[in-house]
Amino acid sequence: MDNLALDAVALRGRLETLASRQGIRQWDLGAACSTDTSVQVDRGEAKQLKGAQRSSITLRVWNEAGLVGVTSTSDLSDVGLERALIGAHEASAFGNKEETPAFSPLATAPLAPLDQPLHEQRSILELLETLKEAERDLIGRHGAIATVPYNGLAQRSSERIYLNSAGACRQQQLTTASLYLYARAEETGRKPRSSGAVRVAYGAADLDIAGCINEAAERTIAHLNYAPIDTDHYTCVFSPEAFLDLIGAFSSLFNARAILDGISLSSRDSIGEQLAVPLLSIHDNGLHPGNIGASAFDGEGTPTARLCLLEGGVLRNFLHSEATARAFGVQPTGHAGLGAKVSVGPDWFEIGPTPGVSAGQQGLDRFSGAAHSAVGERGLVVIDSLSALHAGVKASQGSFSLPFDGWLIRNGQPQSIESATVAGDIRQVMQGIIGFEGQAKLTPNGLCPWVWIENLSVTGEA
């Protein structure tokens, strides 16, 4: 691990020398390493204490025919690097002629500055005592909360490097910490109810532990008084976390790699299409100050930047790697991985009303009399969190059917829903948004307000 945390400039110089000796003219390298410490507890006792050192190094070499070979290594000695160069060069003879990545034209462009303070790592015993106290505090919030079965306090120190033979030399160091608490409440003759909360920060000392405990307790207690819900179509209010999860599950809408692979609802000609109501705008902004763990550059060395995906409901841009950008005749956007076939993925979403466009119905409030009048006797469904996103989403078709935790609000009074599933089509969802409630909330996955969507199918437990 320690031998990876070195000067990227010196490493690049060594690679140049070794590549020249092997007659290799074009190469690049991506490396990441981390030291992780985490703890879990169970009713005041240590359940798991874990420390790990991880490293991944990917080396790509282009041969004279322009084909790419890829290898991985954990040995950064001259012997290890030379062996990896030779292996990648030999593999290039079998490179895919249909997939020929090149260097990003932005791999040497200036990077935006990031304010990411580095923190000293706490001892694992300190983390353990902090989590024990948090668990004890959460259990003490209500007599029905007997356990916190899912919990964890973790910290990480990491480093990323990207180098290439055209002069790119990127390096970033980062420290992060995270806390999650998921409580379980039980009452006699009633089903167990659960909910939780998450917090992230640059160091364990900066974690909002009290806020995490309060949120986990409030959400868990709010689900104790539950009842079944009738199967019907409802106006639904998505929490920021739930709506971000839903948009993330359908991010292939904006993914140029998915379009080229034929697994996206979008096509090459979709730019300029009205995908959503005019009041909705979505940006991908990995540089947002609230994005703990932001990367200054992607796997190909392209700088991270704020990118408009939807503006006024109109599709404006796709997420690109170098290869997909070349295919579309645009610039890379800073969303690539690294490999022979480079992956593309979003960083961190900003979702909210379009500036200068009326944000749908004004003054939306889940608990107001006006909300009751608008939705009638059926009531308003609040979707707090979605489950089974890996199984209940068919991204290439646009459909979803997802279990959720939430409440039915009638006459301003919320009642937890015993068990239910929300289903629909993502295109109808984005066309069915009628407004936003409150200010955008900062979450680990993005920035988003509460989102009101009309006419969604909710199926109650039979």
Last residue of a domain, one of 168, 195, 219: 219
**Are 323 and 408 in a shared domain?**
yes
**Are 41 and 154 in a shared domain?**
yes
> Is the pLDDT higher at 91 or at 3?
91
Residue range 326-353: average pLDDT? 94
> Is the pLDDT higher at 399 or at 412?
399
Look at residue 1 and tell me if it is in a domain.
no
Q: What share of the chain is helix, strand, coil (3-state, %, to 5)?
A: 25, 40, 40
187-229 residue pLDDT tens: 999 999 999 999 999 999 999 999 999 999 999 999 999 999 9
Residue range 163-169: average pLDDT? 96
Q: How far apart are CA 218 and CA 404, in angstroms?
A: 17
For the chain, the first-to-last Cα distance in angstroms comes to 54
Last residue of a domain, one of 219, 236, 253: 219
pLDDT exceeds cutoff 60 at 416: yes
Tokens (6 digits) for 29: 């390298």
Look at residue 199 and tell me if it is in a domain.
yes
- Name the phi and psi angles at 271, rounded to 5: -55, 130
**Are 172 and 255 in a shared domain?**
no
Structural domain harbouring 75: 8-219
| CATH number of the domain that residue 145 is part of | 3.30.2290.10
Is residue 364 a contact partner of residue 381, using CB atoms and an 8 Å limit? Answer: no
User: CA angle, corner 421, sides to 428 and 241, nearest 5?
Assistant: 70
**Are 48 and 184 in a shared domain?**
yes
Residue range 384-391: average pLDDT? 95
Residue range 4-32: average pLDDT? 90
Mean pLDDT of the chain: 94
**Are 87 and 212 in a shared domain?**
yes
Look at residue 2 and tell me if it is in a domain.
no
**Are 269 and 395 in a shared domain?**
yes
106-124 residue pLDDT tens: 999 999 999 999 999 999 9
> Is the pLDDT higher at 89 or at 340?
89
- Residue written as tokens 């986990």? 216
**Are 264 and 146 in a shared domain?**
no
Confidence at 361, pLDDT banded by 50, 70, 90: low
pLDDT at 68: 95
pLDDT at 375: 77
pLDDT exceeds cutoff 70 at 73: yes
pLDDT exceeds cutoff 90 at 144: yes
**Are 380 and 342 in a shared domain?**
yes
Q: How far apart are CA 80 and CA 92, in angstroms?
A: 18
Look at residue 326 and tell me if it is in a domain.
yes
**Are 159 and 263 in a shared domain?**
no
pLDDT exceeds cutoff 60 at 340: yes
Look at residue 77 and tell me if it is in a domain.
yes
**Are 272 and 293 in a shared domain?**
yes
Residue range 231-247: average pLDDT? 97
Residue range 79-84: average pLDDT? 95
270-324 residue pLDDT tens: 999 999 999 999 999 999 999 999 999 999 999 999 999 999 999 999 999 999 9
CA-CA-CA-CA torsion sign (148, 450, 314, 289): negative
Give Cα separations from 402 to 19, 227, 245 (angstroms).
51, 19, 11
Query: What is the count of structural domains for the chain?
Result: 2
pLDDT at 3: 42
> What pTM, to 2 d.p., does this model score?
0.94
Looking at this protein, which amino acid is placed at residue 408? L
Residue range 227-240: average pLDDT? 96
Q: How far apart are CA 12 and CA 9, in angstroms?
A: 5
pLDDT at 359: 65
Is residue 434 a contact partner of residue 237, using CB atoms and an 8 Å limit? Answer: no
Look at residue 70 and tell me if it is in a domain.
yes
Tokens (6 digits) for 138: 């959460």
- Residue written as tokens 């190469």? 27
> Strands 193-201 and 26-42, how do they pair?
unpaired
Look at residue 41 and tell me if it is in a domain.
yes
| Residue 235 φ/ψ region, left for φ over 0, alpha for ψ in the -120 to 50 degree band, beta for the rest | beta
Look at residue 3 and tell me if it is in a domain.
no
Give Cα separations from 379 to 222, 227, 280, 373 (angstroms).
17, 14, 24, 9
**Are 173 and 232 in a shared domain?**
no
Is residue 150 a contact partner of residue 134, using CB atoms and an 8 Å limit? Answer: no
pLDDT at 360: 66
pLDDT exceeds cutoff 60 at 74: yes
Give the H/E segment covering residue 209. helix 209-221
Question: What is the separation of C-alpha 433 from the centre of its chain, rounded to a whole number of angstroms?
Answer: 23
pLDDT exceeds cutoff 80 at 5: no
Residue range 410-421: average pLDDT? 92
pLDDT exceeds cutoff 80 at 70: yes
Last residue of a domain, one of 185, 203, 219: 219
Is residue 316 a contact partner of residue 310, using CB atoms and an 8 Å limit? Answer: yes
**Are 149 and 293 in a shared domain?**
no
pLDDT exceeds cutoff 60 at 374: yes
pLDDT exceeds cutoff 70 at 86: yes
Residue range 246-250: average pLDDT? 97
Is residue 235 a contact partner of residue 213, using CB atoms and an 8 Å limit? Answer: no
